[in-house]
Amino acid sequence: MAEQKSVTIKDVAKATGVSAMTVTRVYGKGYVSPKTRKKVEAMAKKLGYYPNSLARGLRGGKTNSIGILWSLGGPHNSQELVRETTFKLSKLGYVNYVVDSLTDPKIVKACLRDYISRNIDGLIFQAVEENLKDPEIISSLKQISNVVIETHLDPPVGFPFDCIVRSRSKPMLEIVNYLASKGRKRLCLLAQKLDPDREEAYIDGLTKDNILTDDCRMINGNLTDISPDFIEKLNAGKMTYDAVITANDEIAAAMIKLLNDYGKK
């Protein structure tokens, strides 16, 4: 059985009664009247013609592609968020290139070089503090037409990219204020590592509500282990906290189990 020949721009042009250049303009850069555009697109669909996005990108045109550079692991809803984003972009006709950055600068830099070579139309990038200070990463980002950065840090003055800043300080302050309003006076925060803005909000909240104590924060060994100091207080019967704030869901689940094991609600 003979292999079916791919439909070309010339085939679409001949069937539509226009020049090949007109068809090229429909799928690239250049003006085409709405009537002609509609006519060409209808014929292309009928013939089964699909424009070569990569070739169009090499000529400087749109590739209808978006790069998504995100950290997909960890105790948060990144996978769900990225999945929803790709679905919405697909409905708009975009191809998605998704890479798990693992917040590793080597992966970020290699991925950006690949995205640039593909001439993507835009980038959605979850950036950590080190990324925003790395000259090589910033230089690569400037070679991409449209960049949106998701970060929990306020970008530096004059930062050349659009940013979505996910505030961590305001929610922390609201949590402390809520617990204080319920009469909780001895709070403990369990976290492996805190961002300065979130820790500052926590201390500010305790100070304003006049419930700041010397042992209001304990450091965990990793993302899921509870601080040995906290467990030691439980064992010694000296656990005086009436509320515990955890940095993630995993520690929260471990804390609930631990307190249940000790007969505490």
pLDDT digits (tens, 9 = 90+) for 126-178: 998 889 889 999 999 999 989 999 988 778 788 899 999 888 788 899 999 99
Residues near 206 by beta carbon (within 8 Å), at least 6 away in sequence: 176, 187, 212, 213, 216
> What is the strand order of the sheet 147-151 is part of?
95-100, 65-70, 122-126, 147-151, 162-165
181: left (phi over 0), alpha (psi -120 to 50) or beta: alpha
Whether the CB-CB separation of 101 and 70 falls below 8 Å is answered with yes
Whether the CB-CB separation of 75 and 248 falls below 8 Å is answered with yes
Q: Which residue is it, tokens 């009247």?
A: 33
pLDDT digits (tens, 9 = 90+) for 221-230: 676 778 888 8
48: left (phi over 0), alpha (psi -120 to 50) or beta: left
Q: Which residue is it, tokens 């899921």?
A: 224
Distance CA 152, CA 168 (A): 7
Distance CA 110, CA 206 (A): 43
Average confidence score pLDDT of the chain: 85
pLDDT digits (tens, 9 = 90+) for 3-59: 456 778 888 889 999 988 888 788 766 788 889 989 988 988 888 777 665 555 545
Whether the CB-CB separation of 173 and 230 falls below 8 Å is answered with no
Query: Phi, psi (5° rounding) for residue 8?
Result: -110, 175
Distance CA 24, CA 76 (A): 44
What pLDDT score was predicted for residue 1?
Answer: 42
Q: Are strands 147-151 and 187-191 parallel, antiparallel or unpaired?
A: unpaired
pTM to 2 decimal places: 0.58
Instruction: Decide: helix, strand or coil at residue 60.
Output: coil
What pLDDT score was predicted for residue 135?
Answer: 92
**What is the mean pLDDT of the segment spanning 205-212?**
92
